[in-house]
C-alpha cells in the first residue's frame, strides 16, 4: 500500500466525466495514473461509478431483438473453455511509472525515449488519440518551466521529485489541474530531478519571446 501523502487531488467534475467515459484518451491516462497512486480518488471514482450504476438502473429500457438471447447463449457456450489465470503484479510503489503509464511507455523509466527540448528539459510524447496530448517531462532539479498559460485543460502529475508554483508544492502522486488562463511558472524542487506526466487539450501559450521559439520543438 502506498503512503497517503497526496495533497492535490482530482476535482469532482473530472472524476465524474472519467466515470461516464467522456474524456479523451490522454486525459483518461493521467487520471488512471493518478488514481493508481491515490486511494482517495480511487474511492471517489468508485462512488461515481456507483452513480453510473444507479443511472443504468433507473434508465429506460429498449427491447432486445428476438434472437438476442440465443445469440448470446451461443457465444457464452463457445467461449466458456477459457481458463482464468490469476495474475500477479508488482506493486506500484516499487516502480516510478504506475501500470497504465508503463503500458504506454513499454516499461518503467528506463524505457522512456526522451528528447531534449532545451535548458536540460527532456520530453517524451506518448501515443494517444489526438484530441489531447500526453507527455512525460524531465525537469532537472531547480529548473523553471517558462511562464505559460493555456486555453484548455492542463493537468500535471508528479511521478518523481517535486515542483512548486503559485498553487503550492506538488510531490509524487499530486496532480495539478491548471485553470484556464492561469499563468504559472513551475519550478522543480532542488533536491531531485522532477519527472511529470503532463496532459494538455489545447496548445500552451508562452509569455515572452524565447519560450515561443521553443514551442515548435516542444510540439505544443
The three cell numbers of residue 149 are 498559460
CB nearer to other proteins: pick between 11 and 208: 11
CA 197, 199, 201: angle at the middle one, nearest 5? 175
Of 67-75, 113-121, 157-165, 192-200, the window that binds other proteins (rule: CB under 8 A) is 67-75
Regarding beta strands 187-188 and 115-118, do their DSSP bridges make them parallel or antiparallel, or are they unpaired? unpaired
Q: What are phi and psi of 219, to 5 degrees?
A: 70, 30
CB nearer to other proteins: pick between 21 and 216: 21
Q: Are 181 and 151 in contact (CB under 8 A)?
A: yes
Q: Is 66 in the site for other proteins (CB under 8 A)?
A: no
Rg (C-alpha) for the chain, rounded Å, is: 21
State in angstroms the smallest separation of the CB of 6 from other proteins: 13
CB nearer to other proteins: pick between 35 and 198: 35
Beta-carbon contacts of 19 under 8 Å, excluding residues fewer than 6 positions away, are 45, 48, 49, 51, 52
CB nearer to other proteins: pick between 41 and 188: 41
Of 51-59, 116-124, 159-167, 189-197, the window that binds other proteins (rule: CB under 8 A) is 51-59
Exactly one of 103, 118, 168, 208 binds other proteins (CB under 8 A); which one? Answer: 103
Beta-carbon contacts of 202 under 8 Å, excluding residues fewer than 6 positions away, are 150, 151, 152, 153
Reduced to 3 states (helix: H, G, I; strand: E, B; else coil), residue 189 is coil
State in angstroms the smallest separation of the CB of 30 from other proteins: 9
Q: Are 176 and 200 in contact (CB under 8 A)?
A: no
The three cell numbers of residue 49 are 461509478
* Integer angstrom CA distances of residue 137 from 51, 76, 111, 188: 35, 45, 14, 11
The site that binds other proteins (CB under 8 A) totals a number of residues, namely 70
CB nearer to other proteins: pick between 97 and 220: 97
Residues 121-140 that bind other proteins (CB under 8 A): 127-129
Of 5-13, 166-174, 188-196, 206-214, the window that binds other proteins (rule: CB under 8 A) is 5-13
User: Footprint of other proteins on this chain (CB under 8 A)?
Assistant: 1, 11-14, 16-17, 19-23, 25, 28-29, 31-33, 35-36, 39-40, 42-65, 68-69, 71-73, 75-76, 79-80, 82, 84, 86, 89, 91-92, 98-100, 102-104, 127-129
Amino acid at each position: 500500500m502506498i503512503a497517503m501523502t497526496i495533497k492535490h487531488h482530482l476535482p469532482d467534475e473530472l472524476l465524474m466525466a472519467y466515470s461516464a467515459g467522456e474524456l479523451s484518451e490522454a486525459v483518461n491516462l493521467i487520471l488512471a495514473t493518478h488514481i493508481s497512486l491515490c486511494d482517495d480518488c480511487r474511492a471517489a471514482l468508485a462512488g461515481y461509478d456507483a452513480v453510473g450504476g444507479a443511472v443504468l438502473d433507473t434508465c429506460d429500457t429498449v427491447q432486445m431483438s428476438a434472437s438476442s438471447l440465443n445469440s448470446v447463449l451461443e457465444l457464452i457456450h463457445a467461449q466458456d473453455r477459457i481458463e482464468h489465470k490469476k495474475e500477479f503484479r508488482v506493486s506500484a510503489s516499487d516502480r516510478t511509472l504506475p501500470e497504465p503509464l508503463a503500458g504506454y511507455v513499454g516499461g518503467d523509466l528506463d524505457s522512456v525515449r526522451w528528447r531534449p527540448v532545451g535548458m536540460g528539459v527532456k520530453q517524451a510524447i506518448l501515443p494517444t488519440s489526438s484530441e489531447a496530448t500526453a507527455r512525460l517531462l524531465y525537469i532537472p532539479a531547480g529548473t523553471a518551466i517558462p511562464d505559460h498559460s493555456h486555453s484548455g485543460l492542463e493537468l500535471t502529475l508528479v511521478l518523481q521529485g517535486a515542483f512548486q508554483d503559485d498553487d503550492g508544492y506538488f510531490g509524487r502522486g499530486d496532480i495539478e489541474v491548471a485553470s484556464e488562463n492561469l499563468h504559472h511558472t513551475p519550478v522543480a524542487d532542488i533536491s531531485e530531478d522532477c519527472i511529470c506526466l503532463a496532459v494538455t487539450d489545447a496548445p500552451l501559450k508562452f509569455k515572452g519571446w524565447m519560450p515561443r521559439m521553443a514551442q515548435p520543438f516542444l510540439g505544443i
